[in-house]
A = this chain, B = another copy of it.
Amino acid sequence: MKYVVTGCAGFVGSTLVDRLVADGHHVVGLDDFSTGREAFVRQACEAPGFELVRGDLRDPGLALDAALGADAIFHLAANADVRHGTEHPTRDLEQNTIVTVNVLEAARRNGVRDFLFSSTGSVYGEAPVVPTPEDAPMPVQTSLYGASKVAAEGFIQAYAEGFGIRALIFRFVSLLGERYTHGHVIDFVRQLREHPDRLHVLGNGRQRKSYLYVGDCIEAMLTALRAAPGKVGVYNLGAGEYCQVIDSVGWICETLRVTPTLTFSGGDRGWIGDNPFIFLDCARMRGLGWEPTMTIREAVVRTVGWLQEHDA
């Protein structure tokens, strides 16, 4: 098979590329290296089945050329910074919504059969139902990031209906594991490296969040590609549990062998648009035969280990 992976030098993209190349596929990877890392594609670049294209997907020609003859596109490129959205109000629209339509156009014009998309549990806003199923009540968006992703989802669904492309949309919780590059675990590890005796936590530390190990996420996408019925499939992806921020602080400190004094910014949210409780109902994905293999605690410990080895 020929697969296109956008955001191929990112955390998830590069992990997926390594897996697809190992499985013997021809993979074209696209990245602008704005947040992607050279080191993450080094291994893939040595494989004959991998082709790296450097460029900005805001240029519609980039994906168009790359998708020639492709069987499926994994569209993972995105601005993944939820927290600072309000500092650059149009970035999410440009990098997440408009770029998705550029990649959809590439799929349509090249007759690509499958379009796989990394969406987010943030599309549920502050969900009134937890664990949140895919058919939760229509949400009110609370972040530009969530808005840009739910916007992209809608265009993908309309392309599926209008042009016969099969759409697989994955609503991720936050991911953990090797090549993890941003989020609260790295923030905490960096703080503790600088000052092992103190740690500042945004919010009151009781925000409840779910996570998923990156390897489990890749396995879910490949399972859905193989087994999902219908022309549009929307799948939540998360661990079967949640933890409090304060739990993960404990696991991180244990792994780093530090006992800092904690301070809290207070309030039930870490920032404007932060969601105090994210926990997704993943029964639909489990129904395709997938199961996460790692607990959140195991994933946090593994992530901290990787950050220590790779000088976060």
Of A135, A147, A152, which is in contact with the most chain B CB atoms at under 10 Å from its CB?
A147
Known contacts: A136-B137, A151-B154. The answer to whether A162 contacts B86 by CB under 8 A is yes
Give 13 pairs: A residue, B residue, CB < 8 Å, sorted on A: A89-B159, A90-B101, A90-B105, A137-B137, A140-B157, A140-B234, A141-B155, A142-B157, A143-B161, A144-B155, A144-B159, A151-B151, A151-B154
Interface: A121 (CB within 8 A): no
Interface: A139 (CB within 8 A): yes
Interface: A29 (CB within 8 A): no
| A101 smallest CB distance to B (angstroms) | 5
Of A152, A159, A162, which is in contact with the most chain B CB atoms at under 10 Å from its CB?
A162
Please, how many angstroms separate the alpha-carbon atoms of A136 and B135 in the complex? 9
Q: In the bound complex, do residue B143 and residue A162 qualify as a contact, i.e. CB atoms below 8 Å apart?
A: yes
Please, how many angstroms separate the alpha-carbon atoms of A105 and B159 in the complex? 28
| A143 smallest CB distance to B (angstroms) | 6
Interface: A98 (CB within 8 A): yes
Q: In the bound complex, do residue A147 and residue B140 qualify as a contact, i.e. CB atoms below 8 Å apart?
A: no
How many residues of chain A have a CB within 8 Å of chain B?
43
**Among B98, B139, B158, contact of A273 (Cβ-Cβ < 8 Å):** B158
| A109 smallest CB distance to B (angstroms) | 9
Of A98, A108, A148, A158, which is in contact with the most chain B CB atoms at under 10 Å from its CB?
A158
**Among B105, B148, B273, contact of A161 (Cβ-Cβ < 8 Å):** B273
Please, how many angstroms separate the alpha-carbon atoms of A142 and B155 in the complex? 9
Q: In the bound complex, do residue A158 and residue B138 qualify as a contact, i.e. CB atoms below 8 Å apart?
A: no
**Among B108, B136, B144, B154, contact of A150 (Cβ-Cβ < 8 Å):** B154
Known: A148-B154, A151-B151. 11 other contacts (CB 8 A): A93-B98, A123-B138, A135-B138, A136-B138, A140-B157, A141-B155, A142-B157, A146-B158, A147-B151, A150-B150, A162-B273
**Among B138, B143, B232, B273, contact of A134 (Cβ-Cβ < 8 Å):** B138
User: Which 10 residue pairs across A and B have the least CB separation, nearest first?
Assistant: A151-B151, A147-B154, A135-B137, A147-B158, A141-B157, A86-B162, A141-B154, A144-B158, A142-B161, A141-B158
Residue of B nearest to A104 (CB): B89
**Mask: chain A, 123-136; 1 = CB below 8 Å from B; 0 = not:** 10100000000111
Interface: A85 (CB within 8 A): yes
Q: In the bound complex, do residue B142 and residue A158 qualify as a contact, i.e. CB atoms below 8 Å apart?
A: yes
Interface: A97 (CB within 8 A): yes
Please, how many angstroms separate the alpha-carbon atoms of A30 and B145 in the complex? 29
Q: In the bound complex, do residue A137 and residue B140 qualify as a contact, i.e. CB atoms below 8 Å apart?
A: no
- CB neighbours (8 Å) of A97 from chain B are 93, 97, 151
**Among B150, B161, B273, contact of A272 (Cβ-Cβ < 8 Å):** B161
Q: In the bound complex, do residue B232 and residue A140 qualify as a contact, i.e. CB atoms below 8 Å apart?
A: yes
Q: In the bound complex, do residue A138 and residue B137 qualify as a contact, i.e. CB atoms below 8 Å apart?
A: yes
Please, how many angstroms separate the alpha-carbon atoms of A131 and B272 in the complex? 34
Interface: A163 (CB within 8 A): yes
Residue of B nearest to A162 (CB): B86
- CB neighbours (8 Å) of A163 from chain B are 86, 89
